[in-house]
Amino acid sequence: MTTRLVLAVLLTSAFAIAGCGTSTALQKPSQQAMPQASVAESPPAAADAPAMCRMTDPQEVLLEWAELPEVRRGRVPDSLAHAVSPQERAAAPDFDGYRLGTMDYDWVYSEPDRTAGEQRPVRWSAEVSERGFVVTLRPGRNGKLLDDTGPDNVYEFIPDAVPPTIYTFEHVGGCWQLTSVAEQLQETTR
C-alpha cells in the first residue's frame, strides 16, 4: 500500500517547511508529520552503521544525505556520478552527483560549480511505499519577496522549466540506498 504525500516542501531550509509550500516558516523534522518508510524487508542495520541506516522518516534520511556526503559513499548509482559535468568535477572532484543539498539552513539544488549565492532553491515531495520512498526534486528560483518580517525572508518559488529529478530510495542490506535516478516526463496539455 502506498501513502501519497503531497509535500510541496520548499527546500530552502535544512528543515521542512510548514504551511502551503510558499511559506518558509521552518519546523524541525520531528515536528513535521510524515509517514514512515518500511525497513521490514531489509536486515537490521549493523550497530556500527551510520545512524541514517536506522532512520524511517524520509525527511530525516534526506537531511543526512544532504549534509553528510560520507553517508552516501557506496550508496548511489554509478550513473549519478557519471552525469556530473566537467565544470562541477573541476569545482568538486569528489562530487557524487546527488543534487539535494543544504546551505545556510536552506535546501538547495546542489551544483558545486555555482557559488553559494548562486545555489538554486528546490522543492521536493516524497511518496512512501512498502519498499522505501520516491523523492521528486524540482529546482527553481526565488521570485518576489512575500514576507520579510521573520528571521528569514519568504520568497515566491518559481520552478524551472525542466523535468523534475526522481530519486528512488530502498532499504537494502541494512541501509538506505539510492537505487534509481530518473527525470519525470513533462505532461503536456492538448
Measured CA to CA, the distance from residue 86 to residue 168 in angstroms comes to 25
User: What pLDDT is attached to residue 145?
Assistant: 94
For residue 39, give the nearest of 60, 23, 21 by alpha carbon: 60
For residue 53, the 8-state DSSP code is G
User: What pLDDT is attached to residue 26?
Assistant: 30
Task: Return the percentage of the chain with pLDDT > 70, whole number.
Answer: 71
C-alpha cell at 46: 549493523
Measured CA to CA, the distance from residue 153 to residue 106 in angstroms comes to 11
Mean pLDDT, the chain cut into blocks of 10 residues (190 residues total): 30 29 31 48 56 92 93 90 90 93 90 91 93 95 92 90 94 93 61
The answer to whether the CB of 125 falls within 8 A of the CB of 7 is yes
User: What pLDDT is attached to residue 129?
Assistant: 87
User: What pLDDT is attached to residue 99?
Assistant: 94
Q: Where are the beta strands (DSSP E) in the chain?
A: 9-11, 16-17, 26-27, 100-103, 106-109, 120-128, 132-147, 154-159, 165-172, 175-183
User: What pLDDT is attached to residue 17?
Assistant: 29
For the entire predicted model, the pTM comes to 0.71
DSSP state string for 59-107: HHHHHHHHH-HHHHTT-S-HHHHHT--HHHHHH-TT-----EEEETTEE
Measured CA to CA, the distance from residue 6 to residue 103 in angstroms comes to 24
Angle at 66 between CA 62 and CA 72, to 5 degrees: 85
